[in-house]
Copies of this chain bind each other. A is one copy, B any other.
Amino acid sequence: MQSRTPASRATGRPRSATADAAILAATREALVELGWSKLTLGDVATRAGVAKTTLYRRWAGKNELVVDAVAELFDELEIPNRGSLAADIEGVVLQFAAILARPEARSGLMAVIAESTRDDALRERIRTSIVERQKRLVLEGRNRAQARGELPPESDPTTVDLIFDVVAGAVVHRTLVSAEPADEQWVRAFTRLLLVGLGQAAD
């Protein structure tokens, strides 16, 4: 969440923890109903049953608030252990697609990414609280595949970044730009492409 003072003062009235949760939930609700551009902080405050000033005391603005509200959605991702690399990839991609199918993720995520192109601090916030946190999935899946002998032991550490960009980018582009569902059929074709490449893709 937002960066609290490292030596958090033990004196004075403590911040309401329930207010934090209420605000983030209200933000997601507003994203569903209004979308990014029509979402106003005053409206979020009203939904959360909180004064507008309280909101400004905790978040610098709309961008930071939405990043935190969206980041919580991705924590539920888990890589399944289905016994093969292909099945594991298909499983996690389907989960990722399911999250991106939710309207609060769609409208919020892309908007903050757009804003982050002009705000380095915001981009760092996105990277640490969303992207880097989920790279664990790629690492875990690769380790399992190597243990099974499906993948050679990897030496290049940048391969993880490459795979993450390809997987996340493809799913995002499919669901948000092409506006087609990343259903099982698509995920199977994508996984096949990822594993064996274009040359052998046709049988």
Contact A131 B177 (CB under 8 A): yes
**Residues of B contacting A197 with CB < 8 Å?**
193-197, 200
Say yes or no: is A184 at the interface (Cβ < 8 Å to chain B).
no
Contact B117 A114 (CB under 8 A): no
Residues of chain A whose beta carbon lies under 8 Å from any beta carbon of chain B: 35-37, 85, 103, 106-107, 109-111, 113-119, 123, 126-127, 131, 150-152, 154-156, 158-159, 161-166, 168-174, 176-180, 186, 189-190, 193-202
Contact B151 A178 (CB under 8 A): no
Q: How far is the CB of A148 from chain B (nearest CB, A)?
A: 12
Q: How far is the CB of A184 from chain B (nearest CB, A)?
A: 14
Contact A176 B117 (CB under 8 A): yes
**Residues of B contacting A190 with CB < 8 Å?**
162, 166
Copies in the complex: 2
- Cα A5 to Cα B151 in complex, Å, equals 58
- Cα A72 to Cα B182 in complex, Å, equals 29
In the complex, given contacts A151-B199, A152-B202, what are 5 additional A-B residue pairs having Cβ atoms less than 8 angstroms apart? Answer: A103-B118, A110-B111, A116-B176, A166-B166, A193-B197
Taking A166-B190, A170-B169 as contacts, is the C-beta distance between A201 and B159 under 8 angstroms?
Answer: yes
**Residues of B contacting A199 with CB < 8 Å?**
150-151, 195-196
Contact A110 B110 (CB under 8 A): yes
- Cα A36 to Cα B127 in complex, Å, equals 20
Contact B193 A35 (CB under 8 A): no
Contact B189 A198 (CB under 8 A): no
Contact B158 A36 (CB under 8 A): no
A186: which of B37, B118, B162, B173 is its contact (CB, 8 Å)? B162
- Cα A68 to Cα B175 in complex, Å, equals 22
